[in-house]
Chain A
Amino acid sequence: MRLHGRVLRAGLPVEGAYVRLIGPSGDFTAEVRTDESGRFLFYPFAGTWVLRGVLPGGHSLQHTVSLTEGQTMDIQLVDEDVPGA
């Protein structure tokens, strides 16, 4: 199973955001740094997971996803709070 997606700000990918995956237990299971396309990728199992991203500068985003067996999900974490906008 795969849970992947991108972190976006003002429609543009954010490189260097840190996205962590909180498991059904409520504890941290993994964390990755987004690449130049703002992408992240995890290999979870069926259940409810929380994606939590921290962007350069410290702004954070959170999104809850429920995965069913065998599902691949594509998530966009969008930062609406654009600095200077």
Chain B
Amino acid sequence: MPYARPEILVSTDDVAARLGDPQLHLVEVDEDTTAYEKGHVPGAVAINWRDELQSKTSRDVVEKAGFEELLGSRGIDENTEIILYGGNNNWFAAYAYWYLKYYGHENVKLMNGGRKKWELEQRPLTTDAPAVTSTTYRAKDPDAAIRATRDEVIAQTGRTPMIDVRSPEEYAGALAAPAHLPQEAAQRTGHVPGAANIPWSRAANEDGTFRTPEELRALYIEQAGLNPDGPAIAYCRIGERSSHTWVVLHELLGLSQAKNCDGSWTEYGSLVGVPIKSGSER
């Protein structure tokens, strides 16, 4: 059984073999926005998720014109093959992948295993930024079909299958954030009532690569009972880990109705008057 879209995953071997190819457009997106300057895959450009993928005037993605300006400034047009990679097992690269799909970019891929696999294989890194010639990027209109809003989560509680992809400790409310971060987050801890807890990490091998199609199918379809032809909403704390799971559901398992809730727990857990469940029970 193959992945639904096997072409979106590029191995570190394949990236290494293409280093120096002018058609190779690598983009690094990290939680640690200083990682790129300390060393990156040769030829890669960086996108700063905090400064460049978040609107400065509202809590939202950047508007279409800003997105076009950003991509154009990196020498990317709407036909470019983009290969994303990053730290944290590609959490933020997966977020950028979802984001690019939101604005309709067709040819986007992930380096399977991300920065961790590249580093542990002791492959080359450089501090040299590549020469980039700015271009013009034309985005499509946002694809609302892959984004779950706060209001949709509230309206669909108990109806649409929801997957909380955080750790069981966060799901239960014992941790408010991943354990490498200081514990500030939403006003309340816990999870959306009825949401299943399937940590993103169960979809990944220790080297950061995605598990096999058979393993993913067993986890989400056979064990969790998701309908391959039905809807599903993934959320986490701030929308990056849930993007990882969205890639698994939408792109690797072919659940075409899967959505990512990028507002995630920091939005839901700060709302007044919504139901919240604590502990390990759904």
> Do these two chains really belong together in a complex?
yes
A interface residues with partner B (beta carbon < 8 Å): 16, 18, 20-21, 23-25, 27-33, 41-45, 54-58
Main secondary structure of the interface of B (DSSP, over half): loop
B80 contacts partner chain A, Cβ-Cβ < 8 Å: no
Given contacts A31-B88, A43-B183, contact A56 B120 (CB under 8 A): yes
Q: Are A54 and B179 in touch, CB under 8 angstroms? A: no
Q: Are A23 and B179 in touch, CB under 8 angstroms? A: yes
6 CB contacts below 8 A, A to B, read A27-B167, A30-B179, A32-B180, A43-B181, A45-B175, A56-B122
Given contacts A25-B169, A30-B180, A43-B179, 13 further A-B contacts (CB under 8 A): A23-B167, A27-B168, A27-B169, A28-B201, A31-B180, A33-B87, A33-B119, A41-B180, A42-B179, A42-B180, A45-B174, A57-B122, A58-B120
B interface residues with partner A (beta carbon < 8 Å): 32, 87-89, 116, 119-120, 122, 167-170, 174-175, 178-183, 199, 201-202, 206-207
User: Which residue of B32, B122, B181, B199 contacts A28 across the interface (Cβ within 8 Å)?
Assistant: B199
Q: Are A29 and B179 in touch, CB under 8 angstroms? A: yes
Q: State A33–B30 Cα separation when bound (angstroms).
A: 12
Q: Are A29 and B119 in touch, CB under 8 angstroms? A: no
Distance in angstroms from A14 CB to nearest chain B CB is 12
User: Which residue of A18, A23, A32, A33 contacts B169 across the interface (Cβ within 8 Å)?
Assistant: A23
A-B pairs, 8 with minimum CB distance: A28-B201, A25-B168, A30-B180, A30-B179, A30-B178, A29-B179, A29-B167, A42-B179
Q: Are A29 and B122 in touch, CB under 8 angstroms? A: no
CB neighbours of A41 from chain B (8 A): 180
CB neighbours of B88 from chain A (8 A): 31
Q: Are B183 and A54 in touch, CB under 8 angstroms? A: no
Q: State A66–B143 Cα separation when bound (angstroms).
A: 47
Q: Are B174 and A56 in touch, CB under 8 angstroms? A: no
CB neighbours of A24 from chain B (8 A): 169
Residue of A nearest to B198 (CB): A27
CB neighbours of A44 from chain B (8 A): 175, 179
Q: State A23–B197 Cα separation when bound (angstroms).
A: 14
Q: Are A31 and B120 in touch, CB under 8 angstroms? A: no
CB neighbours of B181 from chain A (8 A): 30, 43
CB neighbours of A25 from chain B (8 A): 167-169
Q: State A45–B179 Cα separation when bound (angstroms).
A: 9
Q: Are B178 and A29 in touch, CB under 8 angstroms? A: yes
Residue of B nearest to A17 (CB): B120
Distance in angstroms from B265 CB to nearest chain A CB is 15
Q: State A15–B169 Cα separation when bound (angstroms).
A: 28
CB neighbours of B32 from chain A (8 A): 33
User: Which residue of A31, A43, A56 contacts B89 across the interface (Cβ within 8 Å)?
Assistant: A31
Q: State A45–B32 Cα separation when bound (angstroms).
A: 24
Q: Are A16 and B119 in touch, CB under 8 angstroms? A: yes
CB neighbours of A16 from chain B (8 A): 119
Q: State A29–B182 Cα separation when bound (angstroms).
A: 13
Residue of B nearest to A35 (CB): B38
Q: State A32–B181 Cα separation when bound (angstroms).
A: 10
CB neighbours of B182 from chain A (8 A): 43
